Amino acid sequence: MPSPAMLDAVVLAAGLSRRMGRPKPLLPAGEGATLLSRALDAATAVDGRLWVVLGAAAGAVRAEAERWARLRGEEARLRCLFNPDFASGLASSVAAGVRAATSREPPQGILLLVADQPALERRHVTRLVEAFRRRGAAQAVAAAEEGELRNPAAFARELFDELLALEGDAGGRQILARHPGRVLRVELGSGPWFRDVDDPEAYARLLPKLCGAEARGAAGDAEGEISQKGWRA
């Protein structure tokens, strides 16, 4: 019987994107890329499965995840699951991902990533994976920016029940704060990889960093387009 994976990745892509005005995972993020595909590229540093938690705009987000998997040859690892309670807050999506990842062949740990940190790269996640491998008595490994905890973070089996018990809009950071002595921090320095995309202004600021200086005009156009359009789940 094969040994369990060290880490599965759970990409949280179920949110309502209220401030953005359209589904964030589908936003362009460089040539041929979206926010979701960049998150999945980063997640490939793990050795286990790649779970995408769906909610708002589930059909379109699933299609984008499957497109990415075909292009990257990752069909065997990709798993998409729908969280029917996505509107209740982030905790329900965390729980849905953890529940799915542990239902069969549970991994040693779960890496939680958000789908709106498009400057996060595989090399950053690789450092977290390496730290998880040598974590010793620590039960979680988290990225840090000048000492401050940031996403993403990996949680060992000992913390799975606490992830499942989260409520409302709480995420894994609540558990990290609850058990500071169990957390191994991986300092990644200050950089755009920690910036998330919550609204059109943040998106317009970050897009040129992903696409190069020539994309500044496109970012401005995109901001204007997003601000004028809404969408429904």
Question: Which pLDDT does position 2 carry in this prediction?
Answer: 62
Low-confidence residues in the chain, pLDDT < 50: 1, 213-233
For residues 198 and 200, give the distance between their C-alpha atoms in angstroms, rounded to a whole number: 7
Question: Which pLDDT does position 21 carry in this prediction?
Answer: 84
Q: Which of 194, 63, 176, 122 is nearest to 52 (CA)?
A: 63
Question: Which pLDDT does position 18 carry in this prediction?
Answer: 85
Task: Tell me if 122 sits within 8 A of 31, measured CB to CB.
Answer: no
Strand-pair partners of 155:
110, 140
Cα separation values, 101 from 7, 71, 81, 105, 157, Å = 10, 24, 10, 8, 11
Strand-pair partners of 114:
12
pLDDT one-digit tens code per residue, 149-169: 999 999 999 999 999 999 998
Please give the mean pLDDT across all residues of the chain: 89
pLDDT one-digit tens code per residue, 73-104: 999 999 999 999 999 999 999 999 999 999 98
Taking 3-state DSSP, the helix, strand and coil percentages for the chain, each rounded to the nearest 5, stand at: 45, 20, 35
Backbone angles phi, psi at 51, to 5 degrees: -95, 135
The HSE-up count of residue 130 (CA atoms within 13 Å, CB side) is 8
Q: List the domains of the chain with CATH numbers.
A: 7-121+156-171+193-228 (3.90.550.10)
- The structure's pTM equals 0.89
β-pair type (109-114, 50-54): unpaired
Q: List, in order, residues 6 or more apart from 122 with CB less than 8 Å away.
A: 41, 42, 44, 45
Task: Tell me if 53 sits within 8 A of 81, measured CB to CB.
Answer: yes
Helix axes 35-43, 122-133, angle to 10 degrees: 30
